[in-house]
Amino acid sequence: MADFKYIIVGSGIAGLYAALLASEQGSVLLLTKGGLQDCNTRYAQGGIAAAIGAGDSPALHLEDTLGAGAGLCDVEAARILTDNAPRAIADLVRLGVIFDTDHGEVALGREGAHRLARVLHAGGDATGAHIETVLARLVQARPIRIDEYSAAVGLVVDARSGKVTAVDAVQVRNGQTKRRYTGEAIVLATGGAGRLFRHTTNPEVATGDGVALAFNAGAAVADMEFCQFHPTALRFPGAPAFLISEAVRGEGAVLLTGDGDAFMARYHPMKDLAPRDIVSRAIVTEMQRAATDHVLLDMTHLPEQWLITRFPTIYHTCLQNGVDITREPVPVAPAAHYMMGGVLTNSWGETNLPGLFACGEVACNGLHGANRLASNSLLEALVFARRVVERAGSGIWEGIRFDDPLILDQPGLLNADAPTLTAENLVQTMWNKVGIVRDGVGLEEAVAIFNSWAGSLPASEDLTVQSLANQVLVGRLMAHAAQARTESRGAHFRLDFPAPRPEWVRRIVMVAHPPGNPFPSES
C-alpha cells in the first residue's frame, strides 16, 4: 500500500490548489524544495484573466489566447481554460481571495494582446502574493503533510508496468540521506526554469527541476524552444531584475527611447500592448540602436496618488532603487519570465508515464502555443490542477501518445573550447545564445557547450551538483529544440529564419529513450 494517495511536488498556486482539492479524497504529501511560499506565484503582479466583464465572453478570451499562441495552441486545452475561468475566479473568492474593486464592481485591467479589460488583480500589483497567502494558509489548516526544504531528486518507475510509484527526496538544510515516498498519484507542480537565464524575473527556486525529474524518468517534454521574455523588468545598476507589470502599460504607461521617442508604434498596431514577444524584440532593437542596456517606461502622466495605490509594490521597489515612478521614467529591459514548454501532458494533466501528472508552468498541454497570453498563467494553474485531481480521483488513465519524437541521447557535437561549467557561465550562455534573438551559429555553439557539460558532469549525491545537472539538462533541451525549429514563431525568433514556415505548424516532442519499450510513441 502506498504511503500517500497523492504526492504533490511544488508549492506555487498549482501545487497548493491541487493539495487542497486532493485532501478531500485522501492523504496528501506536499514536497517543496524551499519554504512553502517560495515560488513564482508570489511575484505575479498583473493578475489573473477571466471573461467576467460586460461585453466579454469565454469565446473572445479564447480568440485572444489563440492569437497570442501564433498557430500552435492546442485549441481544446485553450477552450477548457477560457470556459472554466469564471468558475476558477468564483472558487478563489469562496476560498477567501479578495480582488480589488472599483465603485463596488470587480476592477478589471487590460494587458498585452487582450482586446478587452479582463484581468483581475488583488492588492494592486500583488495578486500572486495575495492568492499564494490565502492558499498556503488553507493548506496549513488541512490534514496535509508539508515537507518544506525537501528537494525531489528522482522519480521511481516500476520496471514492469512503467508506472511512476514513488518520489525520492532529500532534506535541503541538513543533507539527510535520501528518503523514498510512495504514492498512488504523483503530481509535478514545480514551476518553470527562468533562473537558467542571466536576466530573469524568477525566484531562485525556478531552475527547471521538475522537467529534469520527469525527463530522466522517461517522460516526454515538448515546446522547449518557447520561453517568454517579459519586456519590462527593472534594469538599474545593482538592482535585481524586478518585474514591472504589463498592467502598467495597460493603464497607459508608454515605452520611450532615451531621447523620448515612443517607439512601439513602429512595430505593431497595438503599440505598447502588442504581444510580449514583439515588445521584447522591439526593445532589444532600440537598445542595440542606441548602444544602451535599457529603454524607459514612462508613467509620469498618470495621476500620482492613483499610481501609488494601483501599483504599490512597483512604486516602493523602484523608490528603494532611487526611481520615483510618479516623477521620472523607469529604466527597463526584457528578462526571462515564463516557460511555455515543459512536461508533455494532455488536457487532464496526464503524461506518458502512468501515475505521473503535471500542472502549472512545469506542464505543457499546448494551451499557450508559441507565446503565452498575459495573465493566463495563474488561471492555467487553477483550471488544470483541478482537472488533475478530478482525473486522478476517477481511477481513469488515458495517458498521451505522440509521433516522431526527437531523441535526446548521448552528447553528440562537442565544444573543445567550452567554458568551465559554473552557474554563471550557464546563465550567460543561455542569455547570449538561446535568448530573445537567436541564430543557427549561436544555437549550434550552445548545443555543443551543453553537450560538453553534460558529458563532464560527475555522478554525485550532492544537491548542488544535482541541481546544476538539472539545469544543464534543461538548457540542453531548450537549445536542441531551438536549433531544430528552423523558423520564427511566437517567442522563438531566429535571425537566419525570420519568418514562420507552414511546415513548422507542429510541436517538437523530446524523449530520452527510443520510442516504445516501454514508452508509447504511436498516435
Catalytically active residues are: 276
Within 13 A of 268's CA, how many CA atoms are on the CB side? 18
Is the Cβ–Cβ distance between 110 and 249 less than 8 Å?
no
Distance CA 285, CA 133 (A): 39
Helix (H) or strand (E) holding 239: none
Distance separating alpha carbons of residues 117 and 347, to the nearest angstrom: 27
Using DSSP, state whether 20 is helix, strand or coil: helix
Helix (H) or strand (E) holding 337: strand 330-339
Q: At what angle do helices 127-141 and 13-22 cross, to 10 degrees?
A: 30
SS3 144: coil
**Closest Cα partner for 48 from 6, 17, 71, 26?**
17
Which residues lie closer than 8 Å to 392 by C-beta, 6 or more apart? 6, 22, 184, 185, 187, 357
Partners of residue 295 on adjacent β-strands: 332
Nearest-angstrom CA–CA distance, 500 and 422: 35
End-to-end CA gap in the chain: 33
Residue corresponding to grid cell 523514498: 180
Cα 209 to its chain centre, rounded Å, is: 12
* C-alpha cell of residue 470: 538539472
Cα–Cα distance measured from residue 321 to residue 317, given in angstroms and rounded to the nearest whole number = 7
Cis preceding-peptide flag for 518 (omega within 30 of 0): yes
Q: In angstroms, how far is CA 221 from the centroid of its own chain?
A: 14
